[in-house]
Amino acid sequence: MAINNNWYETSEDMVMPLPLTEEQIGELPESSLTEEMTEDATSRLYPGIHWPPTTNVIVIPLIPGITMFGYIRFFNASPAANDVDIYVNGRRVASNLSYQNFTEYMKVFPGYYRVAVFAAGTRTNPLTVTNINIAPNRIYTAAVIGMRGDISLELINDNRRSLDGNMAYVRFVQLSPNAPRMDAYWDDSLILEDINYQEVSRYLAVTPGEHNLKLREYISGNVLLEDPSIQVEGGKAYTIYIVGDMYTDRRGLQVVIPLEGTTYLQF
């Protein structure tokens, strides 16, 4: 039974599985993409090691200010992936994650994880398999990106920062695989130049309220996207994710603007 009281959580309360070492990740069999480690599987990988060592369940307490952990969420930013299921170290952590949608942030211990992304409802022919290394006291967004036949996972560090209540903070992440290089205009002022695919900008401090955003092609200056009513609040951080298929989707480029975890997550 999971222990959960006013003082601390435990690893049993977490959606994300426990991490592995870099060596263990490299030795995982292909069959474990959608299967959590069992006693039999662990015995084959690590002869002589009894798992779990002395108890029926491995329980790690999450005590604020003491236990080292981070946060991660998953984002389906691929216009070609449709709905996806995501498995981490063999455990399904997201089901039917649709295009332009995020999971909630999930607590995660530092260490190595193998992330396998499948078309929703399937457990064979993964769209991508990626090993990631999570550091403590960090916040991450793991984005599924790319076009059919070239889908991958990009791990984005959602930088922690002090937030002035009189300012809002925005940054840009360009995840449209076939968009041209572009410039970003905020209320008709150039704020970022020559943004390329998979680029993650620094955070920019802006005044709270409603703003006009234009994305212009870097070479020609043609408007690729305009949103005249971007709303941001003081003391909060946002990422403007640029997504979409420029050529085969009539919607073209779109922006998705979630509130960043640095605004409200606690360690």
Predicted pLDDT at 48:
45
In the chain, ranges of CATH 2.60.40.2630 domains: 168-263
Bigger pLDDT: 211 vs 249: 211
This prediction's pTM: 0.89
Residue type, 171: R
Tell me the pLDDT tens digit for each residue of 84-128.
999 999 999 999 999 999 999 999 999 999 999 999 999 999 999
Tell me the pLDDT tens digit for each residue of 52-79.
444 455 678 888 888 999 999 999 999 9
Predicted pLDDT at 264:
94
For residues 230-256, average pLDDT: 93
Q: Which CATH class is domain 168-263?
A: mainly beta
Tell me the pLDDT tens digit for each residue of 48-59.
444 444 445 567
pLDDT band at 43 (very low <50, low <70, confident <90, very high): very low
